[in-house]
Chains A and B, each alone.
Chain A
Amino acid sequence: MFNPNPRQLAGIKAILFAACLLPLLRLGWGAWNDELGANPIEFVTRSLGTWTLNFLLVTLTVTPLRKASGWLWLTRIRRMLGLFAFFYVVLHLSSYLWLDQFFDWTAIGKDILKRPFITVGMAAFMLLVPLAATSNNAMIRRLGGRRWQALHRSIYVIGIFAVTHYWWLVKKDVALPGVYAATLGVLLALRVLWRYQEKQKLRAGAVQRNAPGTVIPITSKR
């Protein structure tokens, strides 16, 4: 089984980091060459939103992938992926506040209160802030693994809010939001299934404290 040594893991992380920046580079390139279409502001805002969703879903795929492959090291790239979701949502929100609304706070305030898709999107962002703020080893130690994990389970709600945000934004053709909803549905259903299996095991008396559903936060030094 592939189990990278610290140097290999650092290499994997470096490559992944560069890859995660590609969507942004593509936008920068497109803006520079005027290739973002007739409505570049809409294009930039939507693209950043789409990539936020992509990173959220990829982050939620890490654990299922780890379980399927047995590659325990995958958990050690999860933080980076989650933080990239946050990175892109910050850009997405900035694009809305700056490029789209140009800091028209009255219009923005009305949007947040009156438009369900913006309300739910803003809620998703607010919920993501504490997760980003606690994505370091010091915070995990301060909170303790259990509380940290409980806090970070809000990613499931954030995922639902984020997909709803996309679904409600679309005028009529919900095919693509549907794909995101289905993917998220599968990822969340897996969590429900694991939980159920764990309970069954407990009931059967095969009590194991560190059952496979329990993720132990990685606190090792780099």
Chain B
Amino acid sequence: MLINRPSDIVPSEITPQDFYARRREFIKAVGGLALATALPQSALAGDPLRVTVKSPYSTSETPTPLKNVIAYNNFYEFGTDKEDPARNAHTLKTRPWTVSIEGLVKRPKTLAIDDILRLAPLEERIYRMRCVEGWSMVIPWVGFPLATLLKQVEPLGNAKYVELTSAADPATMPGIRRDVLDWPYTEGLRLDEAMHPLTLMAVGLYGEVLPNQNGAPLRLVVPWKYGFKGAKSLVRIRLVEQEPKTAWVRAAPREYGFYSNVNPEVDHPRWSQGSERRIGEFLKRKTMMFNGYGDQVGQLYAGMDLKKFY
């Protein structure tokens, strides 16, 4: 197999790096923060989003090419092959779409997606994403902190965990018709994890509205945890007192834990987690503790035995 082959894009066709890097200044100059939160954001996958905040949480690593980010997905609601979501997710209807935020909160709310898009200025966050299967990407997400959304509903004192539920519509999601997982897909975070500034509600990537196969119109991104924690196409966020039973924990409790922090020391029972293949690279690289976000999130787990709470 020949690995090194000439690119089929001529250099002149690529947007110059410095122009791409200055795009936010351009957007700011045109739109500005006030405009961004006042006018409705675009709705369709691929439409540009007004991204107004550059985040200090972004990595400077080279993002994985868009064509790979949108072609290689785990989204079992649309099939279990990596190529299935890109093939099948066009049936997903992302408008109208509401997300109910409920449970142990002072003001439960049901928000329309267009209102959610106006809640906060949208930030670009370039995050590493490490899949539990041993591959990784660098993805320029667009979104806002989950904390912003949770503050809207004012969690009560006894709320300890957040449970996130994905859509499960057999009419538009062909994978739901097979009971590979216990539908709907659910995920969970401890409240302090959910309130952490790194925890993102993503509505886009590469400056555009989230493609359906990546979890449109709204998904969770938790960069220090394995990718499957990032529940896609969310319809419900519930604050609860007990640790929620997540979809993968229900499916295989011996293999998947509630925390699922990226941890090279704790192997999946069937494969190593010590290294990963960055999509687009030939050699594997070492997997980093907390996917390299240990400085920001390490204190959340102070004193916990991470081999036990995997």
Contacts and interface: CB of A to CB of B under 8 A. Distances in A.
Nearest to B64: A38
Given A102-B283, A102-B284, A171-B133, A115 B1 contact: no
B266 to A, nearest CB: 13
Contact of B82 (A38, A99, A100, A117): A38
B80 A172 contact: yes
Interface string A66-81: 0000000000000000
B252 interface: yes
Contacts of A171: 133
Contacts of B68: 38
Nearest to B73: A38
Interface residues of B, number: 31
Contacts of B284: 100-102, 104
Interface in B67-99: 67-68, 71-72, 76, 80, 82-83
Contacts of B42: none
B1 A44 contact: yes
Contact of A173 (B8, B80, B83, B135): B80
A60 to B, nearest CB: 27
Contacts of A117: 270
A114 B82 contact: no
Nearest to A98: B1
B1 A173 contact: no
Interface string A142-186: 000000000000000000000000001101110100000000000
Contacts of A115: 270-272
Contacts of A116: 270
Interface in A69-116: 99-102, 104, 107, 110-111, 114-116
A27 B270 contact: no
Interface string B47-79: 000000000000000000001100110001000
Identify whether the interface residues of B are mostly helix, strand, loop, or mixed: loop
Interface stretch (B33-41, B104-112, B144-152, B273-281): B273-281
Nearest to A28: B1
A172 B181 contact: yes
A138 B181 CA distance: 53
Identify whether the interface residues of A are mostly helix, strand, loop, or mixed: helix
A107 B270 contact: no
Contacts of A39: 72, 82, 135, 277, 279
Contacts of B8: 34
A173 B279 CA distance: 23
A2 interface: no
A77 to B, nearest CB: 29
A111 B272 contact: yes
B267 interface: yes
A172 B71 contact: no
A177 to B, nearest CB: 12
A172 to B, nearest CB: 6
Contacts of B252: 172
A37 B80 contact: no
Contacts of A37: 71-72, 82-83
A173 B181 CA distance: 9
A210 to B, nearest CB: 46
B135 A42 contact: yes
Contact of B251 (A99, A110, A172): A172
B76 to A, nearest CB: 8
A110 B270 contact: no
A31 interface: yes
Contacts of A100: 277, 284
A161 to B, nearest CB: 16
A115 B249 CA distance: 20
Given A37-B82, A39-B279, A32 B5 contact: yes
A150 to B, nearest CB: 34
A171 B76 CA distance: 11
B119 interface: no
A191 B277 CA distance: 43
B72 A38 contact: yes
A27 B2 CA distance: 11
B252 to A, nearest CB: 7
7 contacts: A31-B2, A38-B82, A42-B277, A110-B272, A114-B272, A171-B133, A173-B180
* Pairs A-B, 8 closest by C-beta atoms: A38-B72, A173-B80, A38-B68, A31-B1, A173-B180, A38-B279, A38-B71, A172-B180
Interface of B: 1-2, 5, 8, 67-68, 71-72, 76, 80, 82-83, 133, 135, 178, 180-181, 251-252, 267, 270-272, 274-275, 277, 279-280, 282-284
